[in-house]
Every structure is written in C-alpha cells, then in structure tokens.
C-alpha cells in the first residue's frame, strides 16, 4: 500500500475523482481515500444539469467522451407560475452559452473509468480516516483498510468528502466561520423510465407548492414536488405523487404526462450552508464539505467543479512554479463564486416555493417579482447568466 503522495484526496465522489484525474494528467501524484465501496458511490442519485464551465473541465480531465455523445444540450429553460408557461432562451442572453443534462452518476462512472485507465490509486472502504498535523508542512492521513492501519504522508490534503465527512471536522471549531439557512420543506423526487414531459426543464410555482420536471435522458424522467419537512417517504406512493404533480404543472403538460413505475423515490431536505474556512493550513475543502445549496438553481455539482478548477490550477502553480504565495487566493476565489451561487439558489427557492407561514401579501409580492423577471429582458438575462454559470475565475 502506498505510504506517500503529493496530494491526499479524501472522498471519491465527482469532485475528488475530477481533481484526481486533473492532477494525474498534470503529473502531480495523488491518492484518493473513500469510506464507501465504488458501487455505493455510484448508487447515489444526484443532480444532472452541468454548467458550461463544468463541461469544459470534465473534457480537460479526459473523461468527457461519453458526456459529449449522450449529454442533452439545453439552450433554454422553462418556468410556470400558476399554470402559465414561459420560456427563457439561455443562449440568447449569454452569447451562446447553454447547459448539458447528464446525470451525476454518469459523470462519476466516467471519472472512475478514466482514473482506472490512467493508473490512479483509489482506496475504497478506507475506514477511520483521520487527518493529522494539517497546520504543519508535513501533514499526513491515517486510515484502516482490510483490518490494517495505514499512514499516508502528503504535502497537501483535499477534503472532498461531503458535509458529513472528516475533513471539515478536522478544522478547530474556533477557526470555522459557518452560515446556514434551513428551509421548512423538502423535495420528493421520483425517477421513472418514461419520456420527459417537456424538452426543457420546467420550474413550476403553484399555490399547492413547487414542482420541477426534469430528465436524465430521452427515455428517463426525473420529477420533484415540494412537500412539508415533516413528510416521510412512507406518506407517499406513486399514484399520489403523479396526481399531485399533474395539479402543479401547466394543464397542457398534465395532459401529455406519461406516468410509470418509480425506479427511485426519496425526499431530500433543503438548506443553504457555507463554511468560509475553505482553507486551513495544508487542508483545502471542496464541494459539499464547504457548501450546500438547495437544488433549485442546479448549482451543487457545478460549485464543486469550480472549487476543483481553482484547487487544480493552484496545485499546478505550486508544483511547477513554487507559487505557495497563491494559497490564500484559493479561499478568496472560491468564496466569491460560492456566495453568488448560494444567492441565486436562495433566490430561486424563495421565488418558486410556497411558504405556508406567508400570507396573501407575500404570495402577491412573489407573483409580482416573477412577473417582472419573466417579462423583462434584463430579468431574463439575469436568470440566464446565473443559470448557465458564472465564469471560473483565473488564479493569478
């Protein structure tokens, strides 16, 4: 088992795998430690809307071939308020930019295969991972694998192990700067092997609650409805879900909706979270280890990719040009983009969901804001610019 590397990466989700693949291509040695099995990682059902910057980075990593063949290019997105249907042309307002619908599971699978082909080391089922001496110039990681204790010495540690991982917890509590907002509802999601009801994603605001019509492929659909945060998955069945969805989407869409058995049903809580301590000593936090956003703006995976872009280019500068003076820039660059994405996700959530504590005035004000943005060229440009993704900032 290898006992020394340049960058130790904690977590083999898409951010850890993408960073590892980019570093390997740049000749920077790295080892990925993952607590779960590879099959478990691939079993996670996550987002599927990729910003242009994320698409470009996956291509740069050498793992974009299948994405380019099978990914669905979306040049626009649709909105509905109380059954009235509107379209926002993304390319028109962003000088030709668009998004690609390609499931996070598929991104992960492609990155796993690319890493295997390049000979990168990923240690699955690494248990009891602990980070040591992260404030020193000689950090190291210990873990158990197949009943044996191992030590991995490294120069830097990239924490890509999610909100519940060990990386952020390794930073002293008095050094953490955290912000959080919890929303009083969740998303009940259903995936089915049925044709999507619309060729673009449809975000629906309705007096009964929010709904989203999405897809993973031309034959696989993904739908969501807003439910109270007290609901349990046992409170729902497929028939009840389809009936509720039909009431929240535009009538013409409800008529052509194709229903079918659920491949997966689950409820996800919604919250916004930012840890502003994204770099501490030799430890860097990436993705969900540092920030969580509601899925409304499709920013979770894309924010992780922007962190990866900054970390990757920083490590290249460090190892090729000895630019350790740039280390503080990592947190500065990442937080600037993070808060803009957090704001957009929060705004979309507040605009499209029903808050049962809100009164009639709040609903009318919400409707007025929707009317302004959807009927204003400036408003639609704001939505489009944020939806396709703000540019990745150069590291200089």
Query: Of 14, 74, 97, 319, which residue is the catalytic one?
Result: 74
> pLDDT at residue 35 above 70?
yes
Query: Of 299, 317, 353, 380, which residue is the catalytic one?
Result: 299
Residue 256 lies in a domain: no
Q: How many domains does the chain have?
A: 1
Q: Write the DSSP string, 29-95.
A: -EEEEESS-HHHHHT-----EE-HHHHHHHHHHT--HHHHHHPEEESEEEEEETTEEEEEEHHHHTT
> pLDDT at residue 274 above 70?
yes
CA atoms within 13 A on the CB side of 371: 7
- When pLDDT is averaged across residues 166-195 and rounded to a whole number, the result is 96
Q: In what order do the strands lie in the sheet with 7-10?
A: 121-124, 30-34, 7-10, 156-159, 283-285, 279-280
- When pLDDT is averaged across residues 123-147 and rounded to a whole number, the result is 97
Residue 154 lies in a domain: yes
Residue that is written with structure tokens 């840890």 in the block: 275
Residue 65 lies in a domain: yes
Q: Which pLDDT belongs to residue 384?
A: 96
> pLDDT at residue 393 above 90?
no
Tell me the per-residue pLDDT of 12-27, one tens digit each, with 9 for 90 and over. 999 999 999 999 999 9
Q: Pull the structure tokens for residue 195.
A: 């044709």
Closest CA to 90 of 52, 53, 46: 52
Q: Which pLDDT belongs to residue 84?
A: 84
- Based on the residue annotation, tell me whether 240 is a catalytic residue of this protein: no
Q: Which pLDDT belongs to residue 45?
A: 64
- When pLDDT is averaged across residues 331-350 and rounded to a whole number, the result is 96
- Based on the residue annotation, tell me whether 87 is a catalytic residue of this protein: no
Environment class of 136 (CB within 10 Å of its CB; exposed 0-12, middle 13-18, buried 19+): exposed
Tell me the per-residue pLDDT of 40-62, one tens digit each, with 9 for 90 and over. 888 776 668 999 999 999 999 99
Residue 133 lies in a domain: yes
Query: Of 14, 196, 250, 295, which residue is the catalytic one?
Result: 295
- Based on the residue annotation, tell me whether 273 is a catalytic residue of this protein: no
Query: Of 156, 183, 224, 387, which residue is the catalytic one?
Result: 387
Q: Which pLDDT belongs to residue 261?
A: 96
Tell me the per-residue pLDDT of 252-266, one tens digit each, with 9 for 90 and over. 999 999 999 999 999
Give the Cα separation of 6 and 9 in Å (integer). 10
Give the Cα separation of 112 and 118 in Å (integer). 10
- Based on the residue annotation, tell me whether 74 is a catalytic residue of this protein: yes
- Based on the residue annotation, tell me whether 124 is a catalytic residue of this protein: no
Q: Which CATH number characterizes residue 327's domain?
A: 3.50.50.60
Domain that holds residue 118: 7-75+97-179+271-355
Integer Rg of the chain from CA: 21
Residue 364 lies in a domain: no
């Amino acid at each position: 088992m290898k006992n020394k590397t340049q960058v130790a990466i904690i977590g083999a989700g898409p951010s850890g795998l993408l960073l590892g693949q980019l570093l390997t291509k740049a000749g920077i040695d790295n080892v990925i430690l993952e607590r779960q099995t590879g099959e478990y990682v691939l079993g996670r059902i996550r987002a599927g809307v990729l910003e242009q910057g994320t698409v470009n980075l996956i291509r740069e990593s050498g793992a974009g071939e299948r994405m380019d063949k099978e990914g669905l290019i979306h040049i626009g997105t649709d909105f509905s308020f109380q059954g009235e249907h509107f379209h926002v042309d993304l390319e028109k307002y962003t000088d030709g930019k668009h998004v690609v619908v390609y499931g996070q599971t598929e991104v992960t699978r492609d990155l796993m295969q690319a890493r295997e082909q390049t000979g990168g080391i990923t240690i699955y089922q690494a248990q009891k991972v602990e980070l040591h001496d992260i404030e020193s110039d000689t950090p190291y990681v210990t873990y158990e694998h197949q009943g044996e204790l191992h030590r991995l010495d490294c120069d830097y540690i990239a924490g890509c192990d999610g909100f519940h991982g060990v990386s952020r917890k390794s930073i002293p509590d008095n050094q953490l700067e955290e912000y959080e907002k919890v929303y009083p509802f969740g998303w009940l999601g259903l995936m089915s092997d049925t044709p999507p009801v619309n060729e673009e994603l449809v975000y629906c605001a309705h007096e009964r609650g929010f709904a989203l019509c999405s897809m993973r492929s031309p034959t696989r659909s993904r739908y969501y409805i807003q439910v109270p945060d007290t609901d349990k998955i046992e409170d729902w069945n497929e028939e009840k879900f389809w009936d509720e969805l039909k009431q929240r989407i535009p009538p013409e869409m409800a008529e052509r909706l194709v229903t079918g058995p659920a491949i997966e049903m689950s409820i996800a809580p919604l919250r916004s979270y930012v840890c502003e301590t994204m770099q501490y000593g030799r430890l860097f936090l990436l993705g969900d280890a540092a920030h969580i956003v509601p899925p409304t703006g499709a920013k979770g995976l894309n924010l992780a990719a922007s962190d990866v872009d900054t970390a990757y280019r920083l490590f290249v500068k460090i190892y090729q040009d000895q630019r350790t003076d740039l280390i503080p820039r990592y947190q500065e660059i990442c937080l600037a983009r993070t808060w803009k994405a957090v704001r957009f996700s929060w705004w979309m959530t507040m605009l499209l969901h029903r808050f049962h504590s809100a009164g009639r005035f709040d609903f009318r004000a919400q409707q007025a804001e929707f009317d302004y943005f959807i009927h204003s060229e400036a408003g639609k440009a704001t939505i489009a610019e944020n939806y396709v993704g703000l540019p990745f900032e150069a590291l200089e």
